[in-house]
Amino acid sequence: MKLLSMKENGQDRAGMLIGEEVLDVIDYLEIVEGKGEWIDSDPQLPAFHHLEGVFRDALDLWNKGPRRLEAIVSRLESDSALAGECRKLGALVPLAQVKLNPPVRCPGKILAVGLNYAAHARETGAKLPEFPLIFSKCTTALIGPEDAIRLPDVSSQIDYEGELAVVIGKRAESVRVEDALEYVAGYTIMNDVTARDLQGREKQWVRAKGLNTFAPCGPWLVTKEEIPDPHALALELRLNGEVRQKSSTDDLIFKIPQVIEFVSQDLTLMPGDIISTGTPSGVGFTATPPVFLKAGDQIAVTIERIGTLRNNVA
């Protein structure tokens, strides 16, 4: 399933992508409960209704359980009359009409892995790391699909980095590699925007990686059940329509379970935390001549089985 957050009349709402339409889950539950017909498909689960809580992002929905959400999708796909009523009342609308937020609105932490693709390490002239190189991106850098990456005053060398990102679903502390994927809610896309001049000059990467708008994320969270092997996904980044990065997650040096095990040793991961897993070769600063972002540029990061994250540069 593809779970998302959207902006509707100034409010953050949780939704599900069904085909090329977005379902507002709260509106749907209100419609069904108003008809007095909702029955949870799993009798061992308590009733799922709109009074259970506020649904504002993908994690809110994921916490209610995939089986409950699958029941909603199945009912809409099999009940054309209900689907029509949802469209009429505005609970089911075309994706093109929806303003998407980042799938997780308020992560406690955004962590990322440096030099985690073998080809990227080679293009930078760096040795392959012996262990994951972890850094953080500021949560204030987080933006959603179609939001603008804004060029800062403090840097003139802004680069792109398309990446697969992991969303943590439950508290994880000192987990073992063989258990690590049990703590994953799903996967999304991150563009690890980077100020290369700050990165080289300041050594510490807090500003280089964490300036405002430097963490585009989305377009939605794909639940882990939909991606049984996250290490076999094609990844492509296009800048103004030109392919700049083209790789596969099978080139990851440290696989996702290894990264989660490494990070979680005495550092607690919480639900909603995001780990961006690294970028492949083809970044701008290694090109000849170097390619840095400029106002008006359009960036699209596509990952197989997830979708495309699009942002413009302003």
Q: What is the mean pLDDT of residues 112-126?
A: 86
Whether the pLDDT of residue 42 is over 60: the answer is no
Q: Please determine, for residue 48, whether its predicted confidence score (pLDDT) is greater than 80.
A: no
pLDDT in tens, 219-266: 999 999 999 999 999 999 999 999 999 999 999 999 999 999 999 999
Instruction: Give the pLDDT score at 65.
Output: 86
Is the pLDDT confidence value at 283 over 90? yes
Domain ranges of the chain: 2-100, 110-312
Average pLDDT, the chain: 93
| The pLDDT of residue 39 | 47
DSSP readout, 46-75? Answer: PP--GGG----SHHHHHTT-HHHHHHHHHH
Share of the chain above pLDDT 70, in %: 94
> Residue 32: pLDDT above 90?
no
Mean pLDDT of 28-43: 68
CB atoms within 10 A of CB 174: 10
Average pLDDT over residues 290-305: 98
Q: Do the beta carbons of residue 48 and residue 27 sit within 8 Å? A: no
Greatest alpha-carbon pair distance for the chain in Å reads 65
CATH superfamily, domain 110-312, is Fumarylacetoacetase-like, C-terminal domain (3.90.850.10)
pLDDT-derived band at 51 (thresholds 50, 70, 90) equals low
Closest CA to 86 of 181, 161, 21: 21
Q: Which two tokens stand for residue 228?
A: 């049984």
134/41: higher pLDDT: 134
Supply the DSSP symbol for 296: T
Q: What is the mean pLDDT of residues 75-96?
A: 95
268-289: average pLDDT: 96
pLDDT above 70 (res 46): no
The end-to-end CA distance of the chain, in Å, is 32
Confidence at residue 47, expressed as pLDDT on a 0 to 100 scale: 59
**Of residues 115 and 157, more confidently modeled:** 157
Strand partners, 247: 235
> How does pLDDT run across 142-186, given as a tens digit for each residue?
999 999 999 999 999 999 999 999 999 999 999 999 999 999 999
The mean pLDDT value for 128-133 works out to: 92
Residue 14 has pLDDT above 90, yes or no: yes
pLDDT for the residue 127: 84
Distance, in Å, from the CA atom of 232 to the CA atom of 255, rounded to the nearest integer, reads 11
Residue 44 has pLDDT above 70, yes or no: no
Q: What percent of the chain has pLDDT over 90?
A: 82
Q: Collapsing DSSP states into helix, strand and coil, what is residue 131? A: coil
**pLDDT value of residue 25:** 92
Answer yes or no: pTM beyond 0.85.
yes
How far is it, in rounded angstroms, from Cα 36 to Cα 34?
5
pLDDT of amino acid 126 = 78
Query: What value does the mean pLDDT take over residues 195-219?
Result: 96
The DSSP result for 204-267, as a single string, is: S-HHHHHSTT-EEEEEEEEEGGG-S-TTS-EEEEEETTEEEEEEEGGGBSS-HHHHHHHHTTTS
- Return the HEC string of 98-126: CEECCCCCCCCCEEEEECCEHHHHHHHCC
